[in-house]
């Protein structure tokens, strides 16, 4: 072969040693054609540092998220190890297998369910109005839709009384009937 034969864009040179033929290409350290990468080293180091910091921050996030979702130390170690060993793919696996609610969300949901299931809680009993048929609360004194009066309040204890009652059964106060007008009281 010729010493400076060009094939496929590569410059080759052959040198003969005392006992063998040495091959030197353009990619060798002595006189190569590739550009010098020394000016790009700081940029390359910054990119590598950023990728390592991103990888470690993903692992830390997985650890903190696992702590918020479970009390199991084994689950914490599993989530952290998975995100360390398989940086992005492991995080996707963790997102699939993690519990759907945090412990705080689970506790709030339990308290809400308990509050709604207790008698006398915020759930009120509804009944239809005898006049208009609209649903109304059973504690209403009159219908807000048609203004039909169902009961009256005791002037002394403010308990609900039926319309026909002349005495409050809770405090023994005499209550005037629907059509009659009570005599005004004189304070002593």
Instruction: Write the pLDDT tens digit of every residue in 167-180.
Output: 888 888 888 776 54
CA distance 59 to 88: 9
163 versus 30: the higher-pLDDT residue is 163
CA distance 148 to 129: 8
What is residue 182's predicted lDDT score, i.e. its pLDDT?
46
CA distance 122 to 107: 19
What is residue 5's predicted lDDT score, i.e. its pLDDT?
52
CA distance 175 to 167: 5
Burial zone of 87 (CB within 10 Å; 0-12 exposed, 13-18 middle, 19+ buried): middle
Q: Which residue has the tokens 């052959």?
A: 14
Sorted by sequence, the CB contacts under 8 Å of residue 157 that are 6+ apart come out as 168, 170, 171, 173
Sorted by sequence, the CB contacts under 8 Å of residue 95 that are 6+ apart come out as none
Read off the DSSP letter of residue 16.
E
What is residue 128's predicted lDDT score, i.e. its pLDDT?
86
What is residue 125's predicted lDDT score, i.e. its pLDDT?
76
Give residue 103's pLDDT band: very low, low, confident or very high (50, 70, 90): very high
Give residue 165's pLDDT band: very low, low, confident or very high (50, 70, 90): confident
CA distance 167 to 188: 23
- Cβ–Cβ under 8 Å, residues 63 and 79: yes
50-56 — which CB contacts under 8 Å span 24+ positions? 55/84, 55/87
What is residue 173's predicted lDDT score, i.e. its pLDDT?
87
Q: Is the pLDDT of residue 54 over 70?
A: yes
Q: Is the pLDDT of residue 109 over 90?
A: yes
- Cβ–Cβ under 8 Å, residues 13 and 4: yes
Whole-prediction pTM: 0.45
Sorted by sequence, the CB contacts under 8 Å of residue 12 that are 6+ apart come out as 4, 5, 6, 23, 24, 25
């Amino acid at each position: 072969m010729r010493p400076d034969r060009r094939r496929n864009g590569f410059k080759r040179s052959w040198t003969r040693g005392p006992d063998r033929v040495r091959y030197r290409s353009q990619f060798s350290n002595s006189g190569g054609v590739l550009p010098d990468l020394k000016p790009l080293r700081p940029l390359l180091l910054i990119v590598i540092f950023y990728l390592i910091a991103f990888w470690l921050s993903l692992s830390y996030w997985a650890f903190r998220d696992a702590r918020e979702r479970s009390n199991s130390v084994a689950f914490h170690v599993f989530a952290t190890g998975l995100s360390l060993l398989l940086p992005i793919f492991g995080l996707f696996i963790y997102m699939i297998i993690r519990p759907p609610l945090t412990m705080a969300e689970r506790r709030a949901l339990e308290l809400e369910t308990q509050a709604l299931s207790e008698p006398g809680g915020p759930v009120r009993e509804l009944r239809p109005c005898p006049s208009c048929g609209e649903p109304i609360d059973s504690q209403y004194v009159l219908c807000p839709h048609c203004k039909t009066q169902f009961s009256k309040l005791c002037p002394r204890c403010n308990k609900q009384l039926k319309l026909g009652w002349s005495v409050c059964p809770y405090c023994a106060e005499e209550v005037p009937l629907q059509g009659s007008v009570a005599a005004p009281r004189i304070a002593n």
